[in-house]
Amino acid sequence: MQEIYKKIRNHPDFLNLVKTRKRISWLLTTIIIFCYFAFIIIIAFAPNIFSQKIFSDSVITLGIIIGLLIILLSILLTGVYVYIANKKLDEINNKVIKKITAN
């Protein structure tokens, strides 16, 4: 069994899969971290931007809306990663396993 794991770990397609998965996850992580830090920096240095009310008689401010949008973006990006992992990355992984076990 250990032989199969070594073959899989050293297979070029598997190494390419690992690189692709890392690239995708770092890209999505960078997007969300940028959004979070931008939100915090705006709150720290220009809080009046987020304190604007959506409607004149409303208690909901722009900061609440943008905060909710960041949370929704996090959920969306998680869904994007799960979709990519299930449709693309698992397919590549299964092909590598089939190639190794066929030999």
**pLDDT tens digits, one per residue of 3-59:** 888 888 888 988 999 999 999 999 999 999 999 999 999 999 999 999 999 988 989
pLDDT in tens, 28-43: 999 999 999 999 999 9
pLDDT tens per residue across span 86-102: 999 999 888 888 888 87
Taking the model in full, what pTM does it have?
0.82
CA dist 103 and 90 (Å) reads 20
89, 19 Cβ separation under 8 angstroms: no
Q: What is the rounded CA–CA span in Å between residue 78 and residue 83?
A: 9
User: Is-contact 66 52, C-beta < 8 A?
Assistant: no
Tokens coding 18: 């690992």
Q: Half-sphere exposure of 81 toward its Cβ, with a 13 Å CA cutoff?
A: 18
